[in-house]
Chains A and B, each alone.
Chain A
Amino acid sequence: MGSRSSILLRDEEIDEIRKETGFSHNQIIRLYHRFNRLDKGNNGFLSREDFLRIPELAINPLGDRIIHAFFGISRDQTLNFKQFVKVLATFRPVQDGSDNRLNSREEKLKFAFKMYDVDGNDKISRDELLLVLQMMVGANISEEQLGCIADRTIQEADGDNDGLISFEEFCGAMDRTDVEQKMSIRFLH
């Protein structure tokens, strides 16, 4: 399947993607292989189920959220290769000199923000935060305890006291975190 699919990806398409995302030709081919491997139905797009079929992702406590954030761009239930690559481009390491807006700090933070923001209203509510916490921390901790943590987190970040964390507040709270480093993944060349 791999060799066939790489042929299906035309050079112009690759060039276009390359320009847009900053991935190298080889990286795109590699990702395309991966895309096709994930695409069990071989229908040219990935569904959520395709993602859930990845064994590690299925046991990842935040697997759901990752998929959710992944699909955040398209808003529909499928993801074609371009969208797939575009999301992944977010995690390209930030390099000096190259000003690709897809892997900027802001884009990276946006992805993380999307993982919190379930309902997509661009605010993280206490309940949304609590949900994420429950996923990570596990069910043994009482909701009240997690609630305290969530409250504290919101209070830390909440600049306008509305009990919600907006994206700007979120960025502010992550000011001291080396997002560029933490949200970078090495893509094989």
Chain B
Amino acid sequence: MFSLVRNRKCAPFVLLLLFWFQTSAAESAQNATAGYTLLTEEQHHTDDGGEAHAHHREVPERYPVAQLNWHHVETPYLISLWVLFASYAKIAFHLTDKLAKIFPESCLLILLGLVVGVIIYFAAKDVVGQYTLSSDTFFLFLLPPIVLEAGYFMPNRSFFDNIGTILLYAVIGTLFNCFCIGASLYGIVSLGWVDVEMDLLDCLVFSSLISAVDPVAVLAVFEEVHVNEVLYILVFGESLLNDAVTVVLYSMFKQFGAMGVENIKTVDYVLGLTSFFVISVGGTLIGVVWGLLTAFVTKFTDHVRVIEPLFVFVMSYLSYLTAEVFGFSGIMAIVFCGIIMKKYVEANISQKSHTTIKYFMKMLSSISETIIFMFLGLSAVRDDHVWDIEFIICTLFFCLFFRAVGVILLTALANWFRAVKVNKVEQFIMAYGGLRGAIAFSLVILIEAPTPALEMKKELMVTTTMIVVFFTVFVQGMTIKPLVDKLKVKRSNKHKPTMGEKIFTRLLDHSMAGIEDIIGSHGHNYWRDKYEEMDRKYLQPLLLRELPESKDTQILQVYTNLNIKDAMEYVKSAGSFNIYRGTGSMANFLRRNASQSILGQDSEGSLRTIPHGMSGICLDMQSVGGAGELAAREVDDAELHHLQDMVLSSMHQPSRKGRYRRAKHNMHDNEMGNGENLLHRSVHLHLRHVVKQRRKRAKLAKRTGGNGGNSGPTVVENGVQKLTVPDLQNIEVDGRLKASGGGSFSGGPVEVKVHPPEIQRLDSEGDDEGGITFEARPVHDTFDSLEVPVLSLLLMEKAPLFTISEDETDPLLTASPPPSIHTDGASEMEEDEEDGIEPTAAESWLPWKEYTDQPRVSERAKEETLGIFGIPGEVTITPKECDEGELAGIVRERRNSLQTPAPMLLSRRGSGDSVNAVPKGSNVLRKLLLRRQSETIPPHLYNSLMPPVSPSRTRRFSDVRPYEYHAVPQDDNFGDSPTQTSKNHSPQFPRHHHHHHHHHEHHPHREKDHPDDESTLQAVEEKNNGNIALVPEIVLSSPKSQDDVRIDISDESLEKESSV
């Protein structure tokens, strides 16, 4: 399979490359024999260019129109080609899912390198030695980006929380490994198992390079494994910090070897030990200094934003090089440089620079990694391998064995000090994750081998290192993922913290530090507290351009991030915020749309003229809706002005929640434009609701016990009832709306797509990224089938069901249980309806009519919006209290707006996969509906409508009460065809009518295009049997794993689904 991919994708490319290699080899024969390596190009490049130049100068007979300047560009050209080739390889791997699932990327790249190596070997044997990983290239160019990325994106908190344990593993562990492996190898050499003669120092040199866990390999493998953060940081931190030990041991043993064993005195060991401290501390210090320097420089870059990223890269690279100049640990320097600078740099630079840094860093490290692994594979193809099976197998065994022993011993030691112990399974993964990699290889080819005997020794070491690296990367790298699954290692639970979690975490930080103060021990909480204090007092004033206003920027930052994210999600799912831009004024907008919508009431043609994008409006335009009741008959200009006045006056209300007016929170980013500010201030309340709904969902999913059922999906926010939030993501809310709609939207005029992966994620992890998005699109050209009056009646009847919920703050609206409200409210509604109050055009059609539940607009906010959108929009939300009369009005409006069978509205709510409308001909249904209309459902029936949720089942989509709907598992192209619409009745409905949870199984293949009259009649019959029938089910198309998406309900359905 692999070769297939390679062939298809890369074969032409390989040939092309080969052609170039040979050309270049032929043209610069002297260089080819000199055996340069591809990537150590600098001096070679200049030599080459100089000669070529000289060569050309000899024959300047005529002016050449064009000439071949291959030498001039050869090196960069080849490098670029390699990079390109490696990137193609990366793309190719990820095109093949199966391959990528089994193999970690690093394995595939090594394989690719091997294959290319073999091809080159056979095609152009004379150049094969040129393409190996050179140590200089590796340490100077390829390694720093990877390590910088590692340091910069280091999870600082867990790193420093576990720094003791990490250092223990990195220092003691590596020393232990080195000496044990070295001694053991010497043992087998002494036993005569190995043909090549080696002394103790040779063994120690080799063991010093082979015993260190490699950060590149660890990163490549663990990135895909997603173990919990502590485990990850233990392995990865170790691999970073053991660099100093490796450097010291390696150079010390090499030096000792050069000096000769007989000349080594005790003082040399002492010096070696000292040098360890100097190298590690020196490296760290250099890193810290450069990091602080970088932070300091970025303090002054606000006028040269473009080069901000440059400082980060160049200065961290300089920290690496500086450390190398002094022979310190460059890895430690650059890691600490990254760690230190990040916090301050990010506060200083612009958002764009931040993004640039992030992606550029990731890109660099990714391509470095790719090249490293590919060249590892490539370097393995060579003639000079010295195979000594005993030595190789023993080395491999010792590596694994002592790694395990070391981890177990050191963990026992570490657990003595740790509050949270490292358990057995984690120890196993730590031992198993001790991958070796390119650092070992680069070090081993650095060994000087002037004599043939030494050459032999070196080649044996190189071969053995290769095998160990390949073994760890392939065998361990490939099996670690299944093992992690099998052993049920605690996984990382990565999510952006919610507000509550962040506050809680910060609270804990402080209180744990406090508790440590009380018991008088100085744990890491204590030191963190000290550091934070120092940071606040000295570092921040020095390094930050603008001092944070608060003592705790993290909380504010999270809040800002959450708001931005909500806004982004909202824009993504619901269209854009720019919808009003260019409409000039509100009046214009109203006028234009009103005229359309008046027509639109009886002809679908004008309906469709209303752009879909309109569904995206969410800027709390419901304030207009509040006044919209006035525009009872027709929308004309005069009235609109009046309407606007009303809106304005209503905005003046002093509001209890005036605090929303300045929802502007700590904006760190100066560049963030006014518009953006405005945007997330304005939406934030609304979005919060959305988010909350999802949180609730996630929470409910986790909660096993049934929660009574007093929390409706509707939220009353500060005195203004939120009937529903007209957001796509509020499935439950909308589902219920649909449900209340009595199955009347039949014929499936709109399909709503649910993107399953997101749902899955949402539900399986309670994750907060990526909401459920819906796409609505009309599948029906006519709206004739929609019976508007019937709909309205139905909606009116059911409206109170979903309109009532508890108020958060307003006693007036508090705790009105749905049944009672229904009885009162419904009759009230009916009266209204009989009075013949038709929904106004505006009510029906203007999108913001939906937002009756939204609070009012503040005057100031409105002005701001005018500035941006040219209309008196809504920026902040200042909810106003409303009495029951108003409530009724809102309810009515809500209902009216529901009458609009516009695709736009449906899409906005995005509640169902498809909603069946009543077919035009179904008079029975209509009659029935009309009759139902006059009935009042007695309270006991209502109670039965809302049975307590049985604790045993999960209710993912939270508090949908009277009617539930559920997602239908579908195959891949959910919602794509009208065949995947819902059916109109539930076959098993009568069986559990006591629940009155109407639901059924929907199998894609069983679904019908449109409900026919037969099914409608069946539904009617059911109704006549005394059940609350005609409850349509809202069907969401969903991924296969129904349990995740399911919003359910009854045992039968659960069983059925699970058996599907």
User: Binary interface profile of B, 625-669, with partner A (CB < 8 Å = 1, else 0)?
Assistant: 000000000000000000000000000000000111111111000
What B residues does A34 contact at CB under 8 A?
A: 518-520
A residues less than 8 Å from B716 (CB atoms): 161
Please name all residues of chain B whose beta carbon is closer than 8 Å to the beta carbon of A56 when the two chains form the complex. Answer: 513-514, 517, 526, 529
> With contacts defined as CB atoms under 8 Å apart, how many contacts are there between chain A and chain B in the complex?
207
In the bound complex, CA of A96 to CA of B490 (Å)? 14
In the assembled complex, which residues on chain A have CB atoms less than 8 Å from the CB atom of B512? 91, 182-183, 185
Interface assignment of B408: CB less than 8 Å from any CB of chain A: no
User: Knowing A56-B513, A138-B552 touch, does A186 contact B523 (C-beta < 8 A)?
Assistant: yes
If A93-B419, A144-B659, A155-B689 touch, does A175 touch B695 (CB 8 Å cutoff)?
no
Give the contacts of A119-136 with B (CB-CB under 8 A): 129, 132-133, 136
A102 at the interface (CB under 8 A from B): no
Is the beta-carbon distance between B500 and A157 smaller than 8 angstroms?
A: yes
Q: Mark A33-68, 1 if CB is under 8 A from B, else 0.
A: 010011000000000000100101101111101100
Q: How far is the CA of A189 from the CA of B415 in the complex (A)?
A: 12
Contact yes or no, A172 B703, CB < 8 A: yes
Q: Which residues of A contact B526 (CB under 8 A)?
A: 56
- Decide if B362 is an interface residue (CB 8 Å cutoff): no
B525 located at the interface, meaning its Cβ lies under 8 Å from any Cβ of chain A in the complex? yes
Report yes or no: A162 in contact with B549, Cβ–Cβ below 8 A.
Answer: no
The residue of chain A having its C-beta at the shortest distance from the C-beta of B806 within the complex is A161
Contacts of B549 in A (CB 8 A): 138, 140-141
Q: Which of B502-510, B603-611, B995-1003 contacts A (4 or more CB under 8 A)?
A: B502-510
Which of A59, A156, A188 makes the CB contact (< 8 A) with B500?
A156
* Selected contact of B659 from candidates A143, A153, A155, CB within 8 Å: A143
Please tell me if the beta carbons of A158 and B508 are within 8 angstroms of each other in the complex.
no
B33 at the interface (CB under 8 A from A): no
Min CB distance B523 to A, Å, is 6
Of the candidates A88, A115, A141, the one whose C-beta lies within 8 Å of that of B519 is A88
Q: In the complex, A144→B610 CA distance in Å?
A: 39
Out of B416, B493, B551, B809, which one reaches A138, CB within 8 Å? B551
- B552 with A136: CB separation less than 8 A: yes
B663→A145 contact, CB < 8 A:
yes
A81 CB-CB contact with B under 8 Å: no
Contacts of B666 in A (CB 8 A): 141, 145
Tell me whether A91 and B515 are in contact in the complex, defined as CB-CB below 8 angstroms, given that A96-B423, A132-B503, A181-B420 are known contacts.
Answer: yes
Give the complex CA separation of A91 and B417 in angstroms: 15
* Interface positions of A from 139 to 189, Cβ below 8 Å from B: 140-145, 147-149, 151-153, 155-163, 172-178, 180-189
Interface of B, secondary structure class, is helix
**C-alpha spacing A164/B649, complex, angstroms:** 32
Q: Closest CB-CB distance, A66 to chain B, in whole Å?
A: 4
What total of chain A residues lie within 8 Å of the partner, measured CB to CB? 70
Could you say which residues of chain B place their CB within 8 Å of the CB of A177?
A: 501, 504-505
Q: Name the CB-closest residue of B to A140.
A: B549
Picked from B493, B500, B703, the residue with its CB within 8 Å of the CB of A174 is B500
How far apart are the CA atoms of A61 and B529 in the complex, in Å?
11
Q: In the complex, how many angstroms separate the beta carbon of B762 from the nearest chain A beta carbon?
A: 13
Q: Which residue of B lies closest to A111 (CB)?
A: B511
A-chain residues with CB within 8 Å of residue B529 when the two chains form the complex: 56, 60
* A54 pairs with B552, CB closer than 8 A: no
Does chain A have a CB within 8 A of B559?
A: yes
User: Which one of B695, B710, B809 has the greatest number of beta carbons of chain A within 10 Å?
Assistant: B695
Q: How far is the CA of A137 from the CA of B506 in the complex (A)?
A: 10
Known contacts A142-B662, A153-B499: A137-B556 contact under CB 8 Å: yes
Contact indicator A133/B660 (Cβ below 8 Å): no
B699 CB–A CB distance under 8 Å: yes
B936 to chain A, nearest CB (A): 26
Cβ of B764 under 8 Å from chain A:
no
Partner of B507, one of A112, A140, A143, A151: A112
Chain B neighbourhood of A38, CB < 8 A? 518
In the complex, which residue of chain A has the Cβ closest to the Cβ of B712?
A: A161
Tell me how far the C-beta of B1037 lies from the nearest C-beta in chain A, rounded to whole angstroms. 28
Residues of B within 8 A of A162 (CB): 806, 808
Q: Which of A88-116 contact B (CB under 8 A)?
A: 88, 91, 93, 95-96, 111-112, 115-116
Q: Which of B504, B517, B695, B805 contacts A60 (CB 8 A)?
A: B517
Q: Chain B's nearest CB lies how many Å from the CB of A84?
A: 9
Residues of A within 8 A of B556 (CB): 137, 141, 145, 149
Task: Please give me the residue from chain A that is nearest to B710 by CB atom.
Answer: A160
- In this assembly, does A17 line the interface, its C-beta being within 8 Å of a C-beta of chain B? no
A140 to B525, CA, bound (A): 25
* Chain B, Cβ-Cβ closest to A173: B500
The CA of A93 and the CA of B421, in the complex, are separated in Å by: 9
Chain A, Cβ-Cβ closest to B230: A181
Cα–Cα, bound, A186→B522 (Å): 10
Tell which of A140, A147, A187 touches B521, judged by Cβ atoms closer than 8 Å.
A187
Chain A residues positioned under 8 Å from B703 (CB to CB): 172
In the complex, 12 of the A-B residue pairs with CB atoms within 8 angstroms, ordered by the A residue number, are: A70-B518, A88-B515, A95-B421, A112-B511, A136-B507, A145-B556, A155-B691, A161-B711, A162-B806, A174-B501, A188-B521, A189-B416
Q: Which 3 A-B pairs rank lowest in CB-CB distance, beginning with the nearest?
A: A138-B551, A144-B659, A56-B517
**Other CB < 8 Å A-B pairs besides A66-B515, A159-B696, A174-B504, 10 of them?**
A34-B519, A51-B518, A60-B529, A138-B552, A153-B498, A158-B808, A160-B711, A174-B501, A183-B508, A183-B512
Binding site for B on A (CB under 8 A): 31, 34, 37-38, 51, 54, 56-57, 59-63, 65-66, 69-70, 88, 91, 93, 95-96, 111-112, 115-116, 129, 132-133, 136-138, 140-145, 147-149, 151-153, 155-163, 172-178, 180-189
